[in-house]
């Protein structure tokens, strides 16, 4: 993980404004959100291993998921770049499980905080600068 110092940090904004603006820049509401915190995520590569994440916490109102109809106000944290490495091909230790297939559909990263090269770190910084310009 690489922290990206930004003017976004400590910015308080209506969730719906951020959601709409960031959606135009290919960000989505990260799947790890709850009613008190979450993140806006954007993949930087086709394999979806390199990511830019802008964390936030709810300061007022209620966050109700991936919707542009929320009264939530959020405080942005420091953006960062991260890399998730996934196993190529099948999992050699996997067992066939009928019930497991219904619950466990997605592979966990082999390394959810893998090293990030300079090229990807710079690309992440460029994306954050673009967000800063668009949220003026």
Q: In the 3-class helix/strand/coil scheme, how is the chain assigned residue by residue?
A: CEECCCCCCCCEEEHHHHHHHHHCCCCEECCCCCCCEEEEEEECCCCCCEEEEEEEEEEECCCCCCCCCCCCEEEECCCEEEECECCCCCCCCCCCCHHHHHHCCCCCCCECCCCCCHHHHHHHHHHHHHHHHHCC
Average pLDDT score, the chain: 84
The architecture of the domain spanning 2-129 is: 2-Layer Sandwich (3.30)
Q: Is the pLDDT of residue 91 over 80?
A: no
The pLDDT confidence band at residue 115, using thresholds 50, 70 and 90, is: confident
For position 48, what pLDDT does the model report? 79
Say if residue 85's pLDDT is above 70: no
Q: 104: pLDDT confidence band, cut at 50, 70 and 90?
A: very low
Predicted TM-score of the model (pTM): 0.79
pLDDT at 89: 53
Ranges 22-31, 94-103, 111-120: which has the least confidence: 94-103
């Amino acid at each position: 993980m690489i922290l990206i110092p930004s003017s976004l940090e400590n910015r308080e904004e209506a969730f719906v404004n951020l959601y709409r603006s960031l959606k135009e820049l290919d960000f989505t509401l990260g799947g790890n959100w709850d009613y008190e915190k979450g993140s806006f995520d954007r993949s930087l590569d086709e394999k979806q291993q390199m990511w830019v994440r802008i964390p936030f916490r709810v300061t007022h109102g209620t966050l109700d998921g991936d919707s542009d109809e929320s009264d939530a106000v959020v405080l942005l944290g420091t953006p960062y770049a991260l890399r998730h490495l996934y196993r190529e091909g099948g999992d050699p230790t996997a067992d066939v499980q009928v019930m497991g297939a219904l619950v466990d559909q997605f592979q966990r990263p082999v390394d959810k905080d893998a090293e990030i090269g300079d090229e990807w770190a710079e690309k992440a910084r460029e994306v954050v600068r673009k967000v800063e310009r668009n949220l003026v």
